Amino acid sequence: MRGNKLGWVLISLLFLTLSSVAAPKLVFEDNFDKDNGKWVSYEGDWVIENGYLVNKDVSHTVSNVACEVMQKGNKVIYEYKVYMEETVVEYGPLCGLHFYVDNPVERGDSYFVYQAKPFLIKVAKTGTTEAIINPLGDIVTGSAELGKEYILKIVLDNKKAEIIVYVNGEEVGTYDVYDDQLDPTDYISFRTNRTKVKIDYVKVWVE
Q: Is residue 9 part of a domain?
A: no
Q: Is residue 4 part of a domain?
A: no
Q: What is the pLDDT of residue 125?
A: 78
Q: What is the pLDDT of residue 18?
A: 47
Q: Is residue 37 part of a domain?
A: yes
Residue 203 clears pLDDT 60, i.e. is over it:
yes
Q: What is the pLDDT of residue 140?
A: 66
Range of the domain at 85: 25-206
Burial class (CB in 10 A: 0-12, 13-18, 19+), 29: exposed
Q: What is the pLDDT of residue 51?
A: 97
C-alpha count within 13 angstroms, C-beta hemisphere, residue 56: 6
Q: What is the pLDDT of residue 19?
A: 47
Q: Is residue 10 part of a domain?
A: no
The stretch 17-28 carries a mean pLDDT of 74
User: CA 90 → CA 21, 70, 93, 97, 192, distances in Å?
Assistant: 47, 36, 8, 21, 14
| SS3 category, 5 | helix
Rounded to whole angstroms, the Cα distance separating 103 from 198 reads 24
Q: Is residue 43 part of a domain?
A: yes
Residue 1 clears pLDDT 90, i.e. is over it:
no
Q: Is residue 135 part of a domain?
A: yes
Q: How many domains does the chain have?
A: 1
Report the CATH number that the domain containing residue 187 is assigned in CATH.
2.60.120.560
Q: Is residue 39 part of a domain?
A: yes
